[in-house]
Each structure stands twice: as structure tokens, then as C-alpha cells.
Structure 1
Amino acid sequence: SGLNVDNVNVIHAMTIPALGMVAGLLIAVFFSYRRPRAYQNTSADVAANHQAMVQPKMSAYRSWVALAAIVVSFVVQLWADSLLLGAMVGFAVFMAAGVVRWGEADAVFNNGVKMMAMIGFIMIAAQGFAEVMKATGQIEPLVKASADMFAGSKGMAAFVMLLVGLLVTMGIGSSFSTLPIITAIYVPLCVGMGFSPMATLAIIGTAGALGDAGSPASDSTLGPTAGLNVDGQHDHMRDTVIPTFLHYNLPLMVSGWIAAMVL
């Protein structure tokens, strides 16, 4: 978007915001959710217990194969620039090594597709919402009007940009979809307000990550719910979205603002 960031390390720019998320995680682990949760025994639990009894036991061989599959998937994905090809090769490694038997391959693959189908459907709907927001052209006036209210105050301008990024991403559910929208608006705004390139990266990166961490339509929340709700005792909003919003978004908001002020 016209900002020269050749000499700026993105990892350094996002270190302070990332530390805010680490702080939120520690608060959740050692304070908010330190007590064990009581679950009811359901038919799903009984069936899962029986299925676990007939599954192969954990072994060093299976663990090494899993690690190799992850590495191979990652390398193929980067080499071919194809997430699909990387996933297919990783699955092939499991089958070739005998971790997933040939007779079980269809069932394993179909179960994975079923789990991702709901996530994909919600993300497609969220992507459509992103296109609607871009088509209306109302994001730029929202940012400019908000910044004009605090003209001359870098602290308030940074807060407003982070807040708008949070609201936009919460509706879209993906930082990947949000960044192209807000970058074109935030870069000239940050330059005009006198923010350094590193501070600009921190603001944009944090604004994109804010809603992604606590949006009901985000893969960051849909994924955990898909796994944790296998017994029907995990509520998406109450048990995933709200805790994630409180323990990741709020500390990230504070640490992102600090990064914008000190970088």
C-alpha cells in the first residue's frame, strides 16, 4: 500500500502484541480455568471409549510418522504453493507407513471432510460478508470519521484503528480477509499521524488478529468447538468464543496499543 517495510522485521513488530496473547493464555490456565470441569457420561462417551479400546496403542513409531507427515506436508505446501497438495501428501505418508490402514482410509478421510464442511460453510458466508463490506465502501469513511474525532492524538488514533479492526474482523471472521481491506486505509492514515513503519505493522497486524481470535465465524474458534463438542457438551459461544475474546482479544488490544506507542 505504498509503505516501504523492506528493513522492518514483522516478527519484531508483532512481539509485543504476541506477548499480550501469552499473558491472556497464562491468566486462563492458572486463574480462570484452573479448576477441572465436570462432564456427564453420554452415549457418545461410551462409544468413544469402546472405539479407543480397539485402536492401536500409542507408540514411538506412530509419533515419528506423524511428525514426518507434518514436515512433508509443510514442505510440499511451500514448494508447490498448494495447501491441498500438501494435505494429500501428508495423508499418503500416514497410509504408506501403515498408521492409517487401507481399509480405514475412506472412513478417516470422510470424517475429516465432515468436520471441515461446517467450518468451510461458515467461512464462505463470512467471506461473502467481507465482499459486501468492501462493495459498500463504508469502511474508509468510518475510519476517517473516527480518526478525525481525535485529531492530533496518536494514542487515541491507534485505539480507534484497533477498535475498528476488531469490529470489522469480528464480522468477517478471518484476519486474511480483513488485512486487504484495512491495509489500504490504515497505511496512509498511520503515515499521516506520524507512526513509524514498525508501529504501522504492529497496528495493522494487531487489528487483523483481534477479531480473528474471538469471532464466532473464525477458524480459530470453529476448529476447537468442532473437536470439543464431540460429546454434545460444548457450547460454541459460551465455551469457545467468549473465553477466547476475554483472554486473547482484550490483552491483545492493550498490548497492540502499547506496541503502537513505543515502536
Structure 2
Amino acid sequence: MLLNPVVLSVLVLVILSLARVHVIISLLIAAVVGGLTAGLSLEETFTTVVGGLGGQGETALSYLLLGILAVMIARSGITDKLIRGVLPFIRGRRGIVLFVIAGLACLSQNVVPVHIAFIPILIPPLLSIFNKMKVDRRGIATALTFGLKAPYMLVPLGFGLIFQGIIVEEMKANGMTIALSKIPLAMAIPVAGMAVGLAIAILITYRKGREYADIPTEFSNEVAASTNEDKKKWQWNHYVVILSLIVTLVLQLVYGSLVLAALGGILVIFIFRAETWKSGEVVVENGVKMMGTIAFVMLIASGYASILTETGAVDELVKSGSDWIGDSKLLAAVVMMSIGLLVTIGIGTSFGTIPVLAAIFVPLCATIGFSPLATAALIGTSGAIGDAGSPASDSTLGPTSGLNVDGQHHHIWDTCVPTFLHYNIPLFICGVIAAMVL
């Protein structure tokens, strides 16, 4: 099991990332290790990686378009109005700000299912205020990741309905039936563990202030350039930007596509002359500068995931892990959670991990004697556990995209490591507890 390509590859990815090797380089080297140890040649490895790039093509494109839209919104000057509008509400203790951010992020999964779309629009304009308040950005990343994960695990609405529906369908396909209404009960204990992790992060770990330099960005530059008189007046371009945000939200809700939604918002701004077509080159350049790296990480991560899945290394890992278990429920729960952690850190998506794990976990749980409720808790938690802390997950890439616009937030050490410690450890412990008591 320790020589499994998934184990070796993920270890390489984690070690290189912690050593501050850029995540794109780390993913490519880890893919080579995974491919070679799985029996592929170097040429076959890169062919598989390149062939798998399209798996996250839509996500990468949506990141780029959201970056462009965020820059256009900043250039309109409305971000300054946002800052002055929310300033009276966020003055005070830093902990309150972080809890509010976590609450807003929770809305993005169920009530208004826009996922990470709000981050590059909302967070960069507020960084100057966060700097003055000395808010630790690691705490902001932790709060955002909680809101991007916990709601879909617990609440069967929006993305939560999709995630929980996958659990139900995959369990049924492998011989075990459970009602969709039971999944929130199965996930309640693991999500409670995440809530404890969030409280520890905000009230203890990142309670103290942290100094950041006031580095000009496309957001702060536009705000500083406007006159005091301009700041007081609502102008045509401000109303157009609000209209573009409404159009973006409606398109996302109707069609479920971030690409279509972001493009619609961009076109509204151009068509109604809040931005001229001639400024398109500057806007696109700044948007790509802001989100381009994140988009390419998603593409490379998709190719890396194809190495782990198409070579059969994940199936081999799950099967070899099941051989260790015997008849012990406790050992079975620990091994399943460990496998889920390794697989999801590598693949970077809890939604895509569920079908892979369920094929082996459901028959195994039935043999050992786990109830359907306990089985759902194991599958759901083991599928979600590596999402926080994974260098390739949008639950970590999304927060980094908003917090690193001025180059002062490291993806691994300031997002992945804090979210791993505060969420994956509680998820592991509470996932095992849920399996034993349900």
C-alpha cells in the first residue's frame, strides 16, 4: 500500500508544495512520479496529463472571466462605494469580520449557488481595510473555505443537493439504499467538527493581528484615482455595474454555468458603455494577471487527476486498503478516512471522489456491518476530507485568488496548510465517530 502510485505521488506533491515549489511544477513532478510508478512510460505519462487537461477547462475559463469582470467592477469606482458602505459594519473585533465572511461564503453554496464567483469580486476591494484592521489573511482563507465546504455537506440545496444526490445514487448503484433526507443526519457530526475547527481558527489561532504592506493593485489604484466629489455621486457606470452583477447572478442560477454568467456580466458592461471596447485589452490583461495562475493550476490539476484515476492506481489503493481491515469497524473507519484523504488531496474534488470510493466502500461496509447511515457518513466525509488543504481544490484556490492580488498571500502556507489543519483533522476524527455511533 505504501508503494501505491497514489500514495507516492501525493507525498511528492505535498512535500514539494510545502517546500514552496510552485504548485504547477509540483503537480507536474507528482504526475510524473505517479505515472512512472504506475507502469507508464514518460511519454505515456505526459500524453495522459495533456489528455486530461480538458476536465477542468470550464472551471479555468470561468476563473479568467471572473477575473476580468472583477477588474471591470473595480475600474468603475463602485468598489470604493462598497468599502465606504460596509466600513461601519466591520469596524471592531477581527473575529466578527471572519465569522461574517464565513457566513457570506455559506450563502454561495445553497441560497445563491455561485460557488467561488463572489471571491474575486468581493475580497480584493476589502483588502485595504483588512490591512488597516490587521486581519490575518490565513483566518480569512479559513473562513472562506468553511463556507465553500460545510454547506454542501450538510444542506440539500444548491450544490448540497448535487453532492448528497451523488452519495445516494452511488450507494444505490453498489447495493445499499438510503433516503436523501437521511444524508444531512449522516453528515451532521463531521460538519460539527468543521464548525469547531472554524471557531478555533478565528478565536485562537488567528486572533492576533498580522501586518501587511499597502501594495497598490488595480483595485486600490482605481479607488485612489477618483476625486472626493466623484465618490459621493452615483454615475451611469455604477448603475451598469449593478445591472451586470444582477445579470451574472441570474444567468448562473438559470443555466448553472459560471462561464456564461461571467461573460454575460462582461458584455453588459461593454454594451452599456460603462467600459469602452477599446479598453478591452487593458481589462483582459489585468484580469488574466489576477486569475491566470489559478486557472492554469486547475488545468494541470485535471491532468494530474487523470494520472491517478486512468492508471487504476486509485482503485488499487482502495482495494489494498480494504485488505488491511479485517472485521474491526474502528480500523475500517480509520483506513477508509485515510484513503479518502489521500485520493481527494490528489484529485482535488470531493464530488468526483465519491463514485471512486463508493464502489469499494459500500460492499465493504455491508460486510463489516455498518448501517446505511454510517456508510453514508464514511463515504461523504472521506470524499470531502481532502478538499480542504488540497493545492488543486477550488475550495483553496478560490480564497487564494482573492487574497493574493497584491502578492502577500502564499497558496500553500497561507491557505492550504491552515485549512488542512483546522478542517481535515476534525473531519477525520468526527468521520470515524459518526461511523461508530450511527
Q: Aligning the two structures, in what range does the TM-score lie when normalised by the shorter sequence?
A: 0.7 to 0.9
Secondary structure in structure 2 of the residue aligned to 1:231: coil
Shift of 1:94: 6.4
Cα drift, residue 26 of structure 1: 0.8
Q: How has the CA–CA distance of structure 1 residues 188 and 115 changed in structure 2, closer, same or farther, with 3 Å as cutoff?
A: farther
**CA distances 1:26-48 after superposition (whole Å, capped 9, x unpaired):** 11000000011111344x36x75
Q: Does residue 351 of structure 2 align to residue 176 of structure 1?
A: yes
Which deviates more from structure 2 when the two are superposed, residues 12-21 or residues 236-245?
12-21
Are 1:40 and 2:213 matched, yes or no? Answer: yes
Greater displacement, 250-259 / 66-75: 66-75
CA apart distance, 1:109: 5.6
Question: Partners of 2:352 and 2:344 in 1: how far apart?
Answer: 8
Distance in 2 (CA, whole Å) between partners of 1:179 and 1:188 is 14
Cα distance in 2 for partners of 1:156, 1:17 equals 18
Change (3 A) 1:223 1:22: same
Counterpart contact for 1:167–1:211, Cα < 8 Å: yes
Does residue 14 of the first structure (1) align with residue 192 of the second (2)?
A: no
Which deviates more, 246-255 or 4-13? 4-13
Alpha-carbon separation, structure 2, partners of 1:160 and 1:102: 55
1:134 is aligned to 2:309: yes
Aligned twin of 1:76: 254
In the alignment, does 2:430 pair up with 1:255? yes
CA distance in 2, matches of 1:17, 1:165: 14
- 5+ residue gaps, structure 2: 1-172
**SS of structure 1 residue aligned to 2:325:** coil
Does residue 336 of structure 2 align to residue 166 of structure 1?
no
Distance 2:423 2:435 in 1: 18
Match for residue 120 of structure 1? Answer: 295
AA aligned to 2:223 is A
Determine the C-alpha separation between the residues in 2 that align with 1:22 and 1:175.
19
Q: Report the Cα distance in structure 2 between the residues aligned to 1:27 and 1:207, rounded to whole angstroms.
A: 22
Contact 2:315 2:356 in 1 (8 A): no
Any stretches of 5+ residues in structure 1 without a counterpart?
A: none
Letter in 2 for 1:233: Q
Paired with 1:254 and 1:188, the residues of 2 have a C-alpha distance of 23
Is residue 247–residue 261 contact of structure 2 (8 Å, CA) maintained in 1?
A: no
In structure 2, relative to structure 1, the CA distance for the partners of 1:108 and 1:184 (3 Å cut) is: farther
- Amino acid corresponding to residue 10 of structure 1 in structure 2: I
Q: Relative to 1, partners in 2 of residues 1:181 and 1:231: Cα closer, same or farther, differing over 3 Å?
A: same
Q: Distance in 2 between matches of 1:187 and 1:75?
A: 34
Aligned counterparts of 2:192 and 2:362: Cα–Cα separation in 1: 24
Distance in 1, matches of 2:231 and 2:183, equals: 42
The one-letter code of the counterpart of 1:73 is L
For 2:436, give the aligned amino acid: M
* Secondary structure of the structure 2 residue equivalent to 1:20: helix
Distance 1:191 1:205, change over 3 A: same
After TM superposition, list the pairs within 5 Å mapping 1:199-238 onto structure 2.
199-238=374-413
Query: Which amino acid letter does the alignment assign opposite residue 254 of structure 2?
Result: V
1:101–1:246: structure 2 CA closer, same or farther, 3 Å change rule?
Answer: same
Deviation at 1:65, TM superposition (A): 5.4
Q: Distance in 2 between matches of 1:27 and 1:108?
A: 40
Q: Pick from 69, 88, 103: which aligns with 2:276?
A: 103
TM-score, length basis structure 2: 0.52
Separation in 1 of the partners of 2:248 and 2:178? 31
- Greater shift, 20-29 or 194-203, is seen at 194-203
Which one of the candidate residues 53, 73, 84 is aligned to 2:224?
53
What does residue 41 of structure 2 align with? none
Which position in structure 2 is the counterpart of 1:145? Answer: 320
- Over the residues paired in the alignment, what is the CA RMSD in angstroms? 3.0
8 Å CA contact retained: 1:20, 1:251: yes
The one-letter code sitting in structure 2 at the alignment partner of 1:77 is Y
Q: Secondary structure at the match of 2:276?
A: helix
Is 1:26–2:199 an aligned residue pair? yes
Shift of 1:61: 7.4
1:57 and 1:242 map into 2 onto residues whose CA distance is 39
Cα distance in 1 for partners of 2:374, 2:231 equals: 50
CA distance in 1: counterparts of 2:304 and 2:347, whole angstroms: 6
Give the deviation of 1:215 after TM superposition. Answer: 0.7
Change (3 A) 1:180 1:67: same
Q: CA distance change for structure 1 residues 51 and 7 in 2, over 3 Å: closer, same or farther? A: closer
Per-residue CA deviation, residues 81-129 of structure 1 (Å, 9 max, x unaligned), is x443333345556678x7x823388355654444443223222222222
What is the CA–CA distance in structure 2 between the aligned matches of 1:187 and 1:198, rounded to whole Å?
Answer: 11
CA distance in 2, matches of 1:21, 1:67: 31
